[in-house]
Amino acid sequence: MTTSFTALQKLIIWADNNNISHEKLPRDIKLLKNLKLLDLSNLSLGVLPDEIGDLMSLKELYICGNELKNLPQTLCNLKNLEILWLQNNQLTTIPDEIATLPMLKDLVAYDNQIIDFLTDILYMKSLKSIFLHDNCLVDEKIKALKLLSLKLKFVSCYSQRTAIK
C-alpha cells in the first residue's frame, strides 16, 4: 500500500484544526512518510482521523490522556508499529484489527472503560507486554490474561472497576 499524498494532506489539515504543534506532527509530507514516533498525548482529542493509518513507517504511537472513545480501523495498516499506548482515554474496546499488527510488542491500555477485546490479541507472536488494569473487563477476559502471563514478560489486568453506563 502506497501512502497517498492526499491522505497525508488531510492528516496535516486535521493537525492544524486540532492545534497540534509542528513538533508533534510535522507538516512536511516527506517527514510524515518517514515518521517513526508520534506522540499525541494529553491533547484532549476526541477522534483520531483514519489517515493515521497512512503513516506506514510508524513504530511508536502514544495517544494517552485524551478523550478517545474508539480508534480508527486503519490502525491495522501500521504494520511496523511496535508500541501502542492508549491509556487514560474513554475506550470501551480494543479494536479487533490490533491483532493483525505483526510487530506489536507493547500494548498499554489501562485506565479506560474497556469491557471486552478480541482474544486473538492474546496470541500475537510479537506481543511482549499488555497493560489492561483499571478497566471494566469481564471475568473471562481477566482469566485469559492471567493465563497469558506465563507467555509474556508483563501482564497487568488487576484492579478492574464497574462499567459506566
Nearest-angstrom CA–CA distance, 72 and 20:
19
Domain boundaries, the chain: 36-156
CB 100 within 8 A of CB 124: no
The model carries a pTM of 0.86
Contact between 75 and 100 under an 8 Å Cβ cutoff? The reply is: no
pLDDT confidence tier of residue 75, bands split at 50, 70 and 90: very high
pLDDT at position 82 is: 98
Q: Which residues, in sequence order, are bridge partners of residue 62?
A: 39, 85
Smallest Cα–Cα separation from 59: which of 103, 5, 94, 96? Answer: 103
Whether 149 has a pLDDT exceeding 70, the answer reads no
Amino acid at 122: L
pLDDT at residue 150 in the model: 55
The CATH number given to 36-156 is 3.80.10.10
